Amino acid sequence: MFDHLDLLPADPILGLSQVFAKDNCTDKVNLSVGVYQDDNGNTPVLDIVRRAQQIMLDEQTSKAYIAQAGDAGFLSGMSELVLGPIAALLATDNRVATVQTPGGCGAVRIASEVLNKCNPGGKVWISTPTWANHQPLVTSAGLTIAEYPYYDRNTKTILFDDMMAALRQASRGDVILLHACCHNPTGADLSPSQWDSLADLCKENGLLPFIDFAYQGFGQGLQDDAYGVRKMAQKVEELVIAASCSKNFGLYRERVGAMIFIGSTGTATAAAKSHALSEARRSYTMAPYHGAGIVGYILNNAELRTDWETELANMRGRINGMRKRLCIGLNQAQSSTDFSFIGNQWGMFSFLGITVEQVLELRSKYGIYILESSRINVAGISDSNIDYVVEKIAQTVS
């Protein structure tokens, strides 16, 4: 039967890493992959993860199934991490429910299935541009896509007025997919006042915010990065959040995520959770425990959590430091393009704003790999390669 299938092309992001691996350039630099890297180019196991894992293994007496919704310590810890003090307030009325998922992708997909149950074929508004996997995950659940303008590639700024104008055309019950922080792929984040205005619009027009929270702690800090999520939780009656522990805990391959439902009533929230569990049962039954158990141990132990926050701050500091050095270096090395915008953005990603031809030139002549959209992963820059990266980008754009 398989001979009736067409061979599909490799994923444009994951496939590029395979091309990079075969490149014989001695100075090659991979700035395309979406993972954190330290100054040695490694994606390390965090020290705090090693400690928590050892504690968990020492205390663990069984590998039996856990509850379908997930590990209790993980669920309570993630709810508090994402929502802060608001989590306890919502819990008094049973208006919040958290379900463990296989990574952030699992959270987006299963939550989309639930939203499609609420409104079959309903409309989800996504930013232009957005993460490449958003549209496939949402449409695979049966939902339809509309787009709102977000980023001006010429001015390197957020098109907030245009964004709001587009969303004012959305119908009551439409879903608005938002990036909580560290917007992927642009690095351009909404300000607190813009989040305030957006929350007011969602409340007034009956729009349902669906927030992808993949990078908490990688932007301005755990609390600042959560501003938009928590503002929405305070303002609107219904909210969906897809959270990931891949980046801030370095647990990429463990596939650790959570979806959080906030409903207008406890009954409505319980119904949303029940449908999420039903969809999960038909797909993977329950998310894997190991990574979530590690996160649960860290978030529920004061000493472990403090040490994790320190390690996370170090990762964030490295990213932000490299971002500033790249910005300053490019502006000093050439004068044809102003790269100051890079220093005003957050998280791992930014658009360089160069052409596809220039992207391909960087790849073929210098072994510098970035996506054809010109998205660059700042975390792939290190002390050992930043001078080379700056020099070759400057030569290419001049």
pLDDT tens readout for residues 255-310: 999 999 999 999 999 999 999 999 999 999 999 999 999 999 999 999 999 999 99
Predicted confidence at residue 9, as pLDDT, reads 86
The mean pLDDT of 51-60, rounded to a whole number, is 96
What structural domains and CATH numbers belong to the chain? 10-45+316-397 (3.90.1150.10), 65-300 (3.40.640.10)
Q: Which of 307, 283, 282 is nearest to 297 (CA)?
A: 307
Catalytic residue chosen out of the listed positions 212, 235, 308, 392: 212
pLDDT band at 163, cuts 50/70/90? Answer: very high
Instruction: Write out pLDDT tens, residues 16-46.
Output: 888 888 888 899 999 998 899 999 999 999 9
Predicted confidence at residue 275, as pLDDT, reads 98
Is 308 noted as a catalytic residue in this protein?
no
Predicted confidence at residue 281, as pLDDT, reads 96
Cα→Cα distances 20→16, 25, 74, 243, 263, Å: 6, 9, 36, 30, 46
Whether the full predicted model's pTM is greater than 0.75, yes or no, is yes
Judged against a pLDDT cut of 90, whether residue 178 lies above it is answered with yes
The mean pLDDT of 11-15, rounded to a whole number, is 80
Predicted confidence at residue 55, as pLDDT, reads 96
- Spatial contact of 353 and 188, defined as CB atoms under 8 Å apart: no
136: number of CA atoms within 13 Å, CB side? 6
Is 273 noted as a catalytic residue in this protein?
no
The mean pLDDT of 139-151, rounded to a whole number, is 98
The mean pLDDT of 122-126, rounded to a whole number, is 98
Is 131 noted as a catalytic residue in this protein?
yes
Tell me the C-alpha distance between 128 and 6, whole Å. Answer: 30
**13-22, 83-92, 361-370: segment of lowest average pLDDT:** 13-22
- Spatial contact of 384 and 390, defined as CB atoms under 8 Å apart: no
Predicted confidence at residue 293, as pLDDT, reads 97
Predicted confidence at residue 223, as pLDDT, reads 98
| Mean pLDDT of all residues belonging to the chain | 96
Tell me the C-alpha distance between 246 and 352, whole Å. Answer: 25
Catalytic residue chosen out of the listed positions 125, 131, 308, 346: 131
Instruction: Write out pLDDT tens, residues 230-239.
Output: 999 999 999 9
